[in-house]
Amino acid sequence: MRALGLISAVALAVVLEVSPAATEPLGSHFQITPFAGFTMFDPTVQPTGTGSLRDAVYAGARIGWQPKSWWGLELAGGVSPTSVEQTGGAGVTFMHLSGNILLTPLSRRRGGPFLSIGGGAARFKPSSGTSLDQGTLDMAVGVRLRLTDAVGLRFEARDARYLPKHSSQNSADHLVLGAGLTLALGATRRNPHRDGVPGAASGDPMARGLTLEALGVLESDPVKAEELLQSALKADPFDGPAHNNLGVLFLRQSKLYEAASEFEQARKLMPGNPDPRLNLGLTFEKAGLYERAFNAYDAALEASPTHIRTIQAVASLTLRTGRASVRLTGMLEDIALRGETSTWSNWAKEQLSRLRH
């Protein structure tokens, strides 16, 4: 309980004191965090049998893989060289390693809090004599702050709880407090041509001009718009908006395979933009591939959790398919408040009324 109370207090203090950072890694990526801090040992643990251990400095690392913005897998390990508290006490080296699930459901562009839960092992190795090994249940809380796409800060409080092998033994809590510099590796690169917004515009002036011209006639002259977009992609095959707008034209013509191909290209080129993911979901929905449509909509909401057009699409498809969803009421309330049109707002109010009666 002492350790859990300290963890909560430290995490709360860190959350209240942090300032926002600029951005975040895009897509699945690895994170490596050299980590330093302080270990507070449970006084009931006496590896040499001659006394409890001094609290000591800690050095280690956190190595993880984050496939989604809200969860990841992680290895946590480190070392604390310490000694028995009595004068002239023997030296003891504390080592631990654990595998953890990392949960970051509130993560945003500037970072956010995290919860880590897992298990592993700890070893107390005296300078002489037999080592003491312990199985541990690990729990950590803290915050991660983004400085750039590739660099961030991590503040953490971790409780490594000793799990006794026999009921006659007492459990023990070792608390690690510390911080580290996080490096993100393998994330999707942002498009450098427009203030770091991913895939916001082509780097080719001709392609950019053709895409903007096509956008102006997308509704009134779709044939000309398609010609302009094809020309834009000849000038720059990596123009994300051109692929997305061409996919919109194909979707309106019910060319679903062609539309899906264009939206998939746009999705890769515009990793932080929800529009290609929403459009890909609409294409799957029109093809009757509802599960794939839900997956595409979830990807759009991961890129932009408040994207109202995607929220409308998810709520509509959820009701149409009769799929059970704990988030449906919240989505309908959101649409009722800020629907894209008054028609959407009225529709959401009507659906909420039906659900409540």
pLDDT digit string, tens, across residues 61-71: 999 999 877 89
Give the rounded percent of residues in the chain with a pLDDT score beyond 90.
62
What is the mean predicted confidence (pLDDT) over 320-336? 92
- Dmax of the chain from CA atoms? 88
Which residues make beta-bridge pairs with 138? 118, 160
What is the mean predicted confidence (pLDDT) over 187-209? 54
Q: Which tokens belong to 26?
A: 């895009």
Q: Is the dihedral of CA 6, 8, 11, 17 positive or negative?
A: negative
Lowest mean pLDDT: which of 183-192, 232-241, 248-257? 183-192
pLDDT digits (tens, 9 = 90+) for 121-137: 999 999 888 899 989 99
User: Is it the case that residue 191 has pLDDT exceeding 70?
Assistant: no
Q: What is the pLDDT of residue 22?
A: 43
User: Is it the case that residue 325 has pLDDT exceeding 90?
Assistant: no
Nearest-angstrom CA–CA distance, 83 and 268 = 54
Tokens 């895409």 label which residue?
A: 211
Q: What is the pLDDT of residue 110?
A: 74
Inter-helix orientation angle 342-355/308-321, to 10°: 40
What is the mean predicted confidence (pLDDT) over 243-271? 93
User: Is it the case that residue 224 has pLDDT exceeding 90?
Assistant: yes
Q: Which is more confidently placed, 13 or 283?
A: 283
Domain ranges of the chain: 2-185, 194-277
Q: Smallest Cα–Cα separation from 173: which of 38, 12, 9, 45?
A: 45
Q: Which tokens belong to 240?
A: 């994300």
Q: What is the pLDDT of residue 203?
A: 59
User: Is it the case that residue 58 has pLDDT exceeding 50?
Assistant: yes
Q: How many CB atoms lie within 10 A of CB 158?
A: 28
Q: Which of 45-54, 72-81, 197-206 has the highest mean pLDDT?
A: 72-81
The fold of the 2-185 domain, in CATH, is Porin (2.40.160)
Q: Which tokens belong to 61?
A: 């690392």
Q: Which is more confidently placed, 178 or 128?
A: 178
User: Is it the case that residue 246 has pLDDT exceeding 90?
Assistant: yes
Residue 28 has phi, psi (to 5 degrees) of -65, 145
Q: How confident is the model at residue 18 (pLDDT cuts 50, 70, 90)?
A: very low
Q: How confident is the model at residue 19 (pLDDT cuts 50, 70, 90)?
A: very low
Q: What is the pLDDT of residue 184?
A: 92
Helix extents (H) in 253-327: 256-269, 275-286, 290-303, 308-321
Q: What is the pLDDT of residue 142?
A: 96
Out of 1.25.40.10, 1.10.490.10, 2.60.98.20, 1.10.260.40, which CATH number does the structure's domain 194-277 have? 1.25.40.10
- Sequence letter at residue 307: H
What is the mean predicted confidence (pLDDT) over 271-285? 94
Q: How confident is the model at residue 227 (pLDDT cuts 50, 70, 90)?
A: very high
Nearest-angstrom CA–CA distance, 317 and 328 = 10
